[in-house]
Amino acid sequence: MKIKLSRKHVVCSDGSTKDELLLDEPVTREFLDYLGNFGDMTIRENLKVPAYFFYSEGYLSMKGVLDDDYVEMRRQLKYVEKTEGLFELILSSYTEGSGGVQKIKDEMQRIAED
């Protein structure tokens, strides 16, 4: 899974940045299960259009529609530089199974220690 198009760093009134991303594949339930390894995942399948919300404090948050290729990602302004490239690493590690999960957790630990 890769980012095809990105509109980055729109600064929001709450002090976060918003990145609008177009992925090369739709976001599946399996990918959201994987993403849940790194924070709090909520999937609202009872809505007319099933939506998901992901939050990982100090790293990033995301929302979108299940089975759509558009993602809205936010990062708190004070963490933008530290978390640059984290989502791309999450995407590229998705197919690596448990080794990919550990790689991301190690990177998140490194970010936290900076």
pLDDT in tens, 25-82: 999 999 999 999 999 999 998 889 999 999 998 899 999 999 999 999 998 888 888 8
Give the per-residue pLDDT at 44: 94
Task: Using a cut of 0.75, tell me whether the model's pTM lies above it.
Answer: yes
Distance between CA 112 and CA 43 in Å, rounded?
A: 27
Residues 18-24, mean pLDDT to the nearest whole number: 93
Residue 81 pLDDT:
83
Least confidently predicted of 15-19, 28-32, 58-62, 102-106: 15-19
Cβ atoms of residues 40 and 52 within 8 Å: no
**DSSP strands (E only) in the chain:** 3-11, 16-23, 40-44, 51-56, 60-65, 70-76
* Per-residue pLDDT at 60: 92
Residue 17: per-residue pLDDT: 87
Q: What are phi and psi of 15, to 5 degrees?
A: 90, 5
